[in-house]
Every structure is written in structure tokens, then in C-alpha cells.
């Protein structure tokens, strides 16, 4: 796990003041795609730019129409009129997923919003509805409120793969740091296989980059040298606590994002597999010196209940009777609640697993369960 890491947070507005008439940094006016294609490249070649510079220009021009500015608007009480006003709380980044008007961003960019606005490259702004999100993996999907004819003109980002990436590869980040829309930075992949945790479930295989990531970059694209999306810029190492780039940024791998977005578009949320058990705090097992996780409760009708796992209870004399202690899933050791979460996170709803438990301090049993959907906020694993 990484220390001193924070999300590449949205560019915040001052909430103690009245709603500003505009964002503190006016978006930079950029040429439209039909103005920056062959003519721009020809001009660049005539200016004697190097081949790698031309490559960078092409990547930016091909992808900047896919990147959007996401504004988080919150209902706040005015200190002057005492009325509830819609105040821009901050801005982040996002990108066009398809021509049906779906935009993908980080969950923390739109968290707490009463309204979300999305601004495209041509500075047209649309309201957006939240289709669904996964707070643990920090991914959200928006639906633009725009005519179908306009949707057809959207340019989805070109999806790549985060499989087979190598440290040292060149990467590009496009986003809206400090409200400066469609800002390009470049760097390399500095590390692979990092792990971030924004909730219960850790984000695995996170990409580390030295491309400058700053407040407002959250939800923006991380591209490979071919211009394909390989990650969503999400967090930065922040040793000073000032929220500025220290040359260590992190992106959620696109292979993870694809699966989450597909589920959100299909179900409106992410379906996460569950045994249907409530786990006791680790101190409960530390006292008796056993490894594993103690089952505190079993949800009625859950896979664990149907299989026969036992919760912690009290006997007729009022003495505490410990429940089953889960020690492995599919042969993989479980020594903490985190281990169990990681084991389940690698599965899908409907998968069958074998759970090995210790019962009564002596009896070792194995149960075959078919994983069910874990309801968000249910407290079960």
C-alpha cells in the first residue's frame, strides 16, 4: 500500500463566498479539430519540429475532443440571503465513452453534487445525470442531456489495454488542472502494480507516472504513445499536503475501468460478489491465537446461510459461542478481512467457491458456495 497519497482532487471553489459568476480560471479557447489537423502538422513540419514533437502533437489533436471538463455543483445556503443556491464546488476531468452520450470520470469528482455540468472542447455545456458509480474503485458514469443528433458528433476516446505495459513507456495526460481545460502533460510509466485504496476494496495494478497530475486532472485520460487510453488519472503522492504535483501520479488501469463501466451501463451499479457474512473485528481472533476471519453474523438466505456457515451466538447459559473462522477461499489463505475482500473482488457474481473454515476450535470443514450480489452499504462480505 502507498502512504501520503491523495486523489488528484477536483479544483475547488471557495464555498464560503457567494456563487461566483464564473470559474476563477477562464477556460482557454482552443481551435476545433477541423482546424488543427493536416494544416497544423504541415506548419509544424515547416517549423522544423522533431519527429517526437510531431508525434506528441498528433496524440493531443486526436484525443483532446474526447476530454471534457466536469463541474460539481452543490446546493449551499447563501450567507447573505440565507437562500439555497447552486454553487460550483469544483471542477475535474472526464472523457467521452461512446456516442450515446456517456462520460466517464472519477467518483470523487462528482461526489456530493446536486447537479453536474459537462463542458466539451467547443465550450458547449450540458447537464449530466449520474448513471452509476463505484466509490471503492473511484469510477463514475454520466449521461449527457443532449439531443441524439449532437451525441452522434461526440468523439469517444480510443480504448487501449493496461495489460502488457512496461516501465519506461511514454505516456500523455490530458485534463483540466486548476480549471485550465485540455492541458497536456507527458512523462513515462514510472511503476506498475501499485495499489490504492479509496474504500473497502483496494484498486489493484495501478499505473504510476511522472506526467504532471494536479488538482482538476482527476478523471482525465492517461494515454500511451499511440494515443490509446490506458488509465484514468486519479491520485497523486502528496508529501507536502498542498495537493500539487510531486512527480508521482497514479492512474486506474483501463482494464479495470472497462469491467466497471460495462456493469454500470447494464445494471446502474457494480455487482460485487458476496458470501453473505458479517466479519468480526480482528481483536476477536487475536485473543485466541487463530488465523482467519471470525464470522460474526450470517445474512438469512445468503450463500453462507444456505451452505451452513455458523455465526457467533450465545448458548442457553449466556456464554459466547464463536462462529466459524474462515481460513481460506479456493485454497488461498485468508488472514484478515482485507484478504477476504481481495479474494471476493477477484470473483464474479454467480461464481462457485470453496470456503474452508475452523469450527469450534477443532473441526475443519469445507463449504461450496455460489456467490451472490453484495448490496452496496449492506456491511456483508
Residue 224 is a catalytic residue: no
Q: Catalytic pick from 11, 102, 108, 182?
A: 108
Residue 9 is a catalytic residue: no
| CA distance linking residue 101 with residue 375, whole number of Å | 27
124: cell is 458547449
Residue 248, Cα to own-chain centre: how many angstroms?
18
256: cell is 479495470
DSSP notation for 245-288:
--S-EEEEEHHHHHHHHHHHHHHSS--EEE--EEEPPTHHHHTT
Beta strands at 313-314 and 320-321: parallel, antiparallel or unpaired: antiparallel
Provide the 10 A C-beta neighbour count for residue 331: 8
192: cell is 506498475
Residue 108 is a catalytic residue: yes
Q: Catalytic pick from 138, 181, 238, 324?
A: 138
Please state at what angle helix 51-63 crosses helix 38-46, rounded to 10 degrees. 160
| CA distance linking residue 292 with residue 285, whole number of Å | 8
Q: Which residues of 91-115 are buried (b: 16+ CB within 10 A; e: fewer)?
A: bbbbbbbeeebbbbbbbbbbbebee
Q: Catalytic pick from 218, 245, 302, 328?
A: 218
Q: Which residues are marked as active site?
A: 108, 138, 218
Amino acid at each position: 500500500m502507498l502512504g501520503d497519497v491523495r486523489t488528484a482532487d477536483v479544483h475547488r471553489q471557495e464555498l464560503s463566498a457567494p456563487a461566483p459568476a464564473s470559474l476563477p480560471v477562464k477556460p482557454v479557447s482552443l481551435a476545433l479539430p477541423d482546424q488543427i489537423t493536416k494544416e497544423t502538422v504541415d506548419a509544424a513540419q515547416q517549423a522544423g519540429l522533431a519527429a517526437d514533437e510531431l508525434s506528441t502533437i498528433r496524440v493531443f489533436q486526436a484525443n483532446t475532443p474526447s476530454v471534457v471538463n466536469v463541474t460539481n455543483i452543490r446546493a449551499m445556503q447563501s450567507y447573505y440571503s440565507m437562500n439555497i443556491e447552486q454553487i460550483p464546488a469544483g471542477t475535474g476531468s472526464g472523457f467521452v465513452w461512446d456516442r450515446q452520450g456517456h462520460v466517464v470520470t472519477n467518483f470523487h469528482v462528482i461526489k456530493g453534487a446536486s447537479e453536474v455540468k459537462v463542458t466539451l472542447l467547443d465550450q458547449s455545456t450540458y447537464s449530466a445525470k449520474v448513471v452509476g458509480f463505484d466509490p471503492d474503485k473511484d469510477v463514475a458514469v454520466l449521461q449527457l442531456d443532449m439531443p441524439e443528433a449532437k451525441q452522434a458528433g461526440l468523439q469517444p476516446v480510443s480504448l487501449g489495454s493496461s495489460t502488457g505495459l512496461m516501465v519506461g513507456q511514454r505516456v500523455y495526460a490530458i485534463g483540466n488542472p486548476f480549471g485550465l481545460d485540455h492541458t497536456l502533460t507527458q512523462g513515462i510509466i514510472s511503476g506498475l502494480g501499485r495499489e490504492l485504496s479509496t474504500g473497502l476494496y483496494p484498486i489493484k495494478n495501478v499505473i504510476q507516472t511522472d506526467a504532471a497530475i494536479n488538482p482538476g486532472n482527476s478523471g482525465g485520460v492517461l494515454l500511451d504513445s499511440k494515443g490509446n487510453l490506458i488509465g484514468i488519472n486519479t491520485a497523486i503522492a502528496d508529501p507536502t499536503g498542498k495537493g500539487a504535483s510531486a512527480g508521482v501520479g497514479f492512474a486506474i488501469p483501463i482494464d479495470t475501468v472497462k469491467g466497471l463501466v460495462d456493469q454500470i451501463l447494464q445494471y446502474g451499479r457494480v455487482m460485487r460478489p458476496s458470501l453473505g457474512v458479517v466479519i468480526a473485528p480482528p481483536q476477536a481472533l487475536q485473543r485466541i491465537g487463530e488465523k482467519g476471519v471470525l464470522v460474526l453474523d450470517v445474512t438469512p438466505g445468503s450463500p453462507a446461510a444456505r451452505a451452513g456457515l455458523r455465526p457467533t451466538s450465545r448458548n442457553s447459559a449466556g456464554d459466547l459461542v464463536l462462529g466459524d473462522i474462515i481460513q481460506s477461499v479456493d485454497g488461498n489463505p485468508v488472514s484478515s478481512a482485507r484478504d477476504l475482500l481481495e479474494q471476493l473482488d477477484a470473483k464474479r457474481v454467480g461464481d462457485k467457491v470453496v470456503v474452508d473454515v475452523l469450527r469450534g476450535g477443532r473441526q475443519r470443514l469445507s463449504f461450496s458456495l455460489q456467490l451472490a450480489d453484495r448490496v452496496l452499504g449492506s456491511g456483508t462480505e
